[in-house]
């Protein structure tokens, strides 16, 4: 009598997402045989671009809550593909993975590097960026997102052009114009923004994203100084992949 076929268990991968790389990774893993993909989104954007596979939206309740979710949903691998500046969730992921004994990988796109002609002022935080501005210019193009505007609210003598996906809420600088937009952006478009609004200083986080890099080239051409907020380090001991293909290879090797 022939034996019954043996079916391999479907392996569950949880992606902490919200980035272009996370969506690319979800699409690639969704095509892998025997892999179930769930992407978790923080829910900070009103209309996020949804990835392939299953999606959950909202927080976990800290590292303990994430560890419980990993166990309850039989997660075999955890990939932190959040924004390079989403420091809290990255450290929560490291603690949760250690508690639940789930392998963890960080997917981090490389940061930007200064090129000839750039006038960069690296700073470690948004607070330090705000402190540097009065000496650099009076018309600021602020591209650090809507969540950290409180750091600039006291700069009443400066004018800000703020670009974000969703409308910012107070506290924020009193002299401010908001542009609601989402990348990718073009070099011609960034040149026009700098010219039309007479921008004399740019503030950005070192996200490393190609979709938002044209503002750096436009600033270089115009001789506009750039305050660059440096990204936080990946939690110690967590392996890092620089691109989705490398993360797929990690999953393949891990899950066999």
How many angstroms separate the Cα of 83 from the Cα of each of 60, 149, 154? 17, 18, 27
pLDDT band at 43 (very low <50, low <70, confident <90, very high): confident
Structural contact between residues 107 and 84, judged by C-beta atoms closer than 8 angstroms: no
* Residue with the two structure tokens 């593909």: 81
What phi and psi values does residue 74 have, to the nearest 5 degrees? 50, 55
| Averaged pLDDT, 72-77 | 98
pLDDT at residue 114 greater than cutoff 70: yes
pLDDT tens digits for range 211-229: 889 999 999 999 999 999 9
Do 139 and 155 contact (CB within 8 A), yes or no?
Answer: no
pLDDT of 4 reads: 42
**What average pLDDT does this structure show over 125-143?**
97
Token pair, residue 31, equals 């095509």
Predicted confidence at residue 45, as pLDDT, reads: 67
d(CA 49, CA 39): 12
Percent of the chain scoring above 90 in pLDDT: 83
Rounded CA gap, 121 and 219, in Å? 13
Average pLDDT, whole number, for the chain?
93
In the sheet with 54-57, reading across from the earlier edge strand, the strands are 54-57, 35-41, 11-16, 75-80, 104-107, 240-241
Q: Scan for tokens 């954007």, then name that residue.
A: 45
Is the backbone of residue 250 left (phi > 0), alpha (psi -120 to 50) or beta?
alpha
Compute how many other C-beta atoms are within 10 angstroms of the C-beta atom of residue 33.
6
Per-residue confidence (pLDDT) for residue 2, from 0 to 100: 46
Q: Rounded to an integer, what distance in angstroms lies between the CA atom of residue 47 and that of residue 35?
A: 27
Query: What does the alpha-carbon distance between residue 228 and residue 122 come to, in Å, rounded to a whole number?
Result: 5
Stated as kind and residue range, the H or E segment containing 175 is: none
Of 100, 98, 85, 89, the closest CA to residue 15 belongs to 89
Q: What is the DSSP letter of 94?
A: H
Average pLDDT rounded to a whole number, residues 15-20: 93
Residue 55 has pLDDT above 50, yes or no: yes
Pairing relationship of beta strands 159-164 and 176-180 according to DSSP bridges: parallel
Report all structural domains of the chain as residue ranges with CATH numbers, in order of start: 11-110+233-255 (3.40.50.720), 120-229 (3.40.50)
10: helix, strand or coil: coil
- Which one is predicted more confidently, 209 or 58? 58
- Asked if the model's pLDDT at residue 161 lies above 80, the reply is yes
Residue 5 has pLDDT above 70, yes or no: no
């Amino acid at each position: 009598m022939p034996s019954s076929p043996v079916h391999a268990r479907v392996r569950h991968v949880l992606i902490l997402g919200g980035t272009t790389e996370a969506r690319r990774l979800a699409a690639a893993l969704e095509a892998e045989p025997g892999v179930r993909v769930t992407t978790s989104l923080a829910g900070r954007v009103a209309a996020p671009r949804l990835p392939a596979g299953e999606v959950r939206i909202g927080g976990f309740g800290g590292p303990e809550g994430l560890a419980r979710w990993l166990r309850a949903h039989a997660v075999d691998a955890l990939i932190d593909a959040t924004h390079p500046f989403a420091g809290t969730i990255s450290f929560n992921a490291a603690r949760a993975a250690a508690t639940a004994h789930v392998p963890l990988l960080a997917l981090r796109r490389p940061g930007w590097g200064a090129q000839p002609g750039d006038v960069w002022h690296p700073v470690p935080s948004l607070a330090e960026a705000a402190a540097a501005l009065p000496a650099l210019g009076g018309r600021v193009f602020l591209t650090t997102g809507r969540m950290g505007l409180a750091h600039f609210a006291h700069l009443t003598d400066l004018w800000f052009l703020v670009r974000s996906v969703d409308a910012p809420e107070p506290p924020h600088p009193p002299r401010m114009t908001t542009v609601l937009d989402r990348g990718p952006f073009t070099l011609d478009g960034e040149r026009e923004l700098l010219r039309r609004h007479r921008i004399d200083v740019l503030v950005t986080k070192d996200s490393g994203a190609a979709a938002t890099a044209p503002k750096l080239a436009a600033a270089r051409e115009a001789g506009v100084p750039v305050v660059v907020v440096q990204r936080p380090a990946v939690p110690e001991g967590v392996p890092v992949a620089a691109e989705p293909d490398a993360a797929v290879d990690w999953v393949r090797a891990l899950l066999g």
